[in-house]
Amino acid sequence: MASVARRLGVAPSTLRTWDRRYGLGPSRHTDGRHRRYGTSDIGRLELMQRALLSGASTAEAARYALEQIPRSGPAQPEEPGEPPGPDPADDGHEVRSRLARRLSTAALAMDVHAVQHMLADTITELGVLPAWTGVVEPVLSALGARWRGASAGAEVEYLLTECVFAALVRATPVLDVPRNTRPVLLGAAPDERDTMPMYALAASLAGRRIGAQLFGVPLPADVLAVAVRRSAPAAIVLWAHRRGVADTRLFARVSRGRQRSRLFACGPGWDPAALPEKVELLPDLPGAADRIEHVLVGARPPRVLDGPLGMS
């Protein structure tokens, strides 16, 4: 133990604590009462140190290390508050919580490879919108609140945001023959900074074979009006997360002309009482996907699932 402690630059008492509380001790036994650290044991400890240096708590860092290099035998943490690992009998909430913890600890460790794989696995396992609403968005919100107003640590949120953006784009299949003849235009209110939910909605609609025209960068009102006039969408969905940018006059700007489109407002920024009569408020992203599909093409055909490449 002393040589491992010197190698890692920690006290032997720290290694004993990590072993007792988190199950990160040596796994090989020698004659008598002594146990010996193997290559995998040291690798877990090095991963834990890297996560700690990136800002993770001790418990988060320990979970991350055990997830990346699982033990051959079950770990025996001392504290009841430290879950030993996923339970096959987990219900949906517990599964989402477990996936969120894994994603958070990988992001805190700045392990881009692990983050990318976890996002892909989560989308495959849950589907695009359940993954977004139950795992990805809560983790992004928690990390944003954790580092708000501080320069140190904000890089974790930026890293995760970039990985999420790439994962949602990869989860959006290219449609040869969409079910809708005219697209649904997805955009955001000018000056809205949080447009990632529209990427999740576009991916979900593509999984249902609904063609969408996404403007992930918020367009000025006059440019958005031109885009609507040229693409003649069957429906327009405008996202607003903040009340300060949700100007209801935008709907009048984009609905002028001969070509009429169904108008939808989506996001917590819109005031339901202030919306024009012909604008329908979509309550959340899953409800938005269902409603848009119903309006554009009617009932959902069998075996079309909400996930990348037909996976739920």
The boundaries of every CATH 1.10.1240.10 domain in the chain are: 92-170
The boundaries of every CATH 3.40.50.280 domain in the chain are: 184-310
Task: State pTM to two decimals.
Answer: 0.70
Q: Is 127 left (phi over 0), alpha (psi -120 to 50) or beta?
A: left
Neighbours of 21 (CB within 10 A): 17
51-71 confidence digits (pLDDT tens): 775 666 777 778 888 888 887
Identify whether the C-beta of residue 107 lies closer than 8 Å to the C-beta of residue 260: no
φ, ψ at 190 (rounded to 5°):
-55, 140
**Predicted confidence band of residue 91 (pLDDT cuts 50, 70, 90):** low
**93 burial class (0-12, 13-18, 19+ CB within 10 angstroms)?**
exposed
User: Which of 255, 270, 253, 137 minimizes the C-alpha distance to 201?
Assistant: 137
Does domain 92-170 correspond to CATH entry 1.10.1240.10? yes
pLDDT averaged over every residue in the chain? 82
Fold of the domain spanning 2-66: Multidrug-efflux Transporter Regulator; Chain: A; Domain 2 (1.10.1660)
**Predicted confidence band of residue 105 (pLDDT cuts 50, 70, 90):** confident
Tell me whether strands 212-214 and 35-36 are parallel, antiparallel or unpaired.
unpaired
DSSP string, 262-285: EEEEESTTS-GGGS-TTEEEE-SH
> Domain 184-310 - what CATH class?
alpha beta
Identify whether the C-beta of residue 220 lies closer than 8 Å to the C-beta of residue 272: no
The boundaries of every CATH 1.10.1660.10 domain in the chain are: 2-66
296-308 confidence digits (pLDDT tens): 998 665 444 454 4
